Chain A
Amino acid sequence: EPEVTQTPSHQVTQMGQEVILRCVPISNHLYFYWYRQILGQKVEFLVSFYNNEISEKSEIFDDQFSVERPDGSNFTLKIRSTKLEDSAMYFCASSGDRSSYEQYFGPGTRLTVT
């Protein structure tokens, strides 16, 4: 069964450093998403991406964040200058169309900012 994959599974970085979280969505999917889950808290939407541009973003997704689909398979989330409060689990998701019940989540990348 096709699945969304994410790398790395755990990233530790120092405050102020840039990090790039990588996702490989399901190959024929067209819509891509990033969500964040701070430890013990709820899952929060960050951004959605379609046709090589951001289609929607939340207030969390400020200028420190960016997304990119650098090639036909990867979808990345970059945090330009990490803060302690960026420590969270980051989930990538993809869907084949705008019907969200087809949205498939990856296993997540745990980001720890020290």
Chain B
Amino acid sequence: EAGVVQSPRYKIIEKKQPVAFWCNPISGHNTLYWYLQNLGQGPELLIRYENEEAVDDSQLPKDRFSAERLKGVDSTLKIQPAELGDSAVYLCASSWTENTEAFFGQGTRLTVV
């Protein structure tokens, strides 16, 4: 079974530029999560999808961050414009439902210079 696939693995951009991350969850998983992980800290939830609906986006900074999950499968997370403080690892995870084990991708390491 293929795991959660994220791309790119690494991204370096200049501040004020836009950036997008892509996530392909495990086939059949209805729930998809985006997490932010700063250096030396645990992951923090940004947004959770149930199929194509964002059911928890309370931690997503909506002034510059946006996300979508078209057709309830793949998802993209976008930052526009990026700031220096956005440098972090962005993790995607998926699960069958909200109440089952979540599987994580390897993450995208973003560096904003």
The answer to whether A and B come from one shared complex is: no
Q: CB within 8 Å of B: which residues of A?
A: none
Q: CB within 8 Å of A: which residues of B?
A: none
